[in-house]
Structure 1
Amino acid sequence: MMLIGYSLEVSLKAMIIVEKGIEGYTQMGKKTLHHRLDDLASFLPDLSKKDRAILRGLSHFVSWAGRYPDPGTGKEHKLEEIFDLGEKHQVTAFDLFNVSSRVMRHAQTVVSQALD
């Protein structure tokens, strides 16, 4: 989950760089200096509530769940939040890989548009 999240984060940030350039990306500052995949993916078309929930869940794995066995004091609710997101939206592995492939496919669109 952490590695899927990392790959999506890198792809989303790369798409922003392709669209805005390095200088434009740098000027965005704190708008992109985080691991919130659902925020980074805000420019993607046709993301459903379920897709955003999947990205929000993956964000937890990128920021702490994939790296630390214990989220630390005051963050115990994060684990419960991940399970709540999955259950509320009935997330399956198929859904996870579906949204991941759509993000990656959009990267092809962004690069093609930049080359035109």
Structure 2
Amino acid sequence: MQEERDVFPTSFLLDDQQRRLILSWSDGHESVHSWEKLRRACPCAFCAGEGGSPGMLQRRQQLNREETTLVNLEPVGRYGLTPIWEDGHRTGIFTFEKLRQLCECPQCRPSGR
């Protein structure tokens, strides 16, 4: 059995039709992430806030199409990925562990949570 820290993405697919990211993992799992939910989960200080101040995403009910269109992913060391968004945003680093926690596939979210 692989330890969680040994699991890493092996490839990704940007599904433009359904506006979702599909990540294939070294343990065989395939995680699914809607682009809007992924953008809303951006951990950077600008989006999520810092020092008790809310981020840009907490102050907005709706995001525009450019803000929620994923155009690429870049690896960050051996621990994470940075989404590149159509609006130019690229400062959020998602650790592999966080991406697995955010998976929306039926296996990970059987009740539709």
Q: Same fold (TM over 0.5)?
A: no
**Which category describes the TM-score, using the shorter chain as reference length?**
under 0.3
Q: Name whichever structure is richer in strand by fraction.
A: 2
TM-score (norm 2): 0.27
> Which one has a bigger Cα radius of gyration?
1
Q: Name whichever structure is richer in helix by fraction.
A: 1
The higher relative CO (CA closer than 8 Å, separation ≥ 6) is in: 1
